Amino acid sequence: MEDVERIAQEVLRRLQGETVRANGLVRPEGGRGIPVTVSARHVHLSRSSVDSLFGEGAELTKVRDLSQPGEFVAAERVTAVGPSGRALESVGVVGPVRTYTQIELSRTDAVRLGIDPPVRRSGDLAGSAPVTLVGPAGTVVLREGAIRAIRHIHMTERDAAEHGVKDGDLVRVRFPGERALVLENVLVRVDRDYALEMHLDTDDANAADIRPPVDVEILS
């Protein structure tokens, strides 16, 4: 029973995302290393989707805040079902409520569902993959809504100046360690309210053998 509880807690921790911090990577002169968060599959829900999945007027229940200001892990969970009928259960919900509904998946998740979601930034859903979300009160059928989130770095304008980049840049990022590698096409996202952080899906994190704590650096 203790093993089951331990495994359940580990799965929940991964669903909520792991923030891994710095450990001795040589940083660019005058700059800071960039901490990495590994994001497991999760959904963002619109008001109408929350009503459909959890009941009219339902509110998302905050479990804990995430590192990006205003975002939080919700207690609610959904099941994602692909056109083939195959499903992913207990998909995490990230609040607050948004103006659109989307699910962010890794390639491995997509294969499981039998879909081919494009690599996109959050909210860019035109032509994305279909998926059905199932909650305790009902379902939401999305003709478009499944994406693989583009690798990206959140930063403020000050961070961007420090690292010599600007909003919308695509950069190369080096990961240290025994399976050191360089990932390309990493999108820079700049906003005054962002916390400095790189987001990876679980497939990219596994490829780089991410083990906390770790920082990364942008290559020139």
Domains and CATH numbers, the chain: 16-38+151-219 (2.40.40), 40-149 (no CATH)
Q: What is the pLDDT of residue 18?
A: 37
| C-alpha closest to that of 60 among 73, 48, 70 | 73
- Let me know: does 131 contact 82? Beta carbons within 8 Å: yes
Query: What is the pLDDT, as a whole number, of residue 26?
Result: 32
Look up residue 202 and give its two tokens.
């679980």
> What pLDDT is attached to residue 176?
86
pLDDT of 178? 85
Secondary structure letter of residue 12 according to DSSP: H
pLDDT at 177: 83
What integer pLDDT is reported at residue 20 of this predicted model?
A: 34
Alpha-carbon separation of residue 128 from 9, 29, 103 (angstroms) = 32, 40, 10
C-alpha to C-alpha distance for 104 and 149, rounded to whole angstroms: 6
Q: Tokens for 123, please give them.
A: 């909210």
Nearest CA among 36, 34, 32 for reference residue 20: 36
pLDDT value for 116: 97
Residue 73, beta-bridge partner list: 64, 94
Q: What is the pLDDT of residue 212?
A: 63
Q: Tell me the pLDDT of the chain (220 aa) as tens digits.
A: 444 344 434 544 444 443 333 333 333 344 469 999 999 999 999 999 999 999 999 999 999 999 999 999 999 999 999 998 999 999 999 999 999 999 999 999 999 999 999 999 999 999 999 999 999 999 999 999 999 999 999 999 999 999 999 999 999 999 988 888 999 999 999 999 999 999 999 999 999 898 767 899 999 7
Instruction: Provide the residue count of the chain.
Output: 220
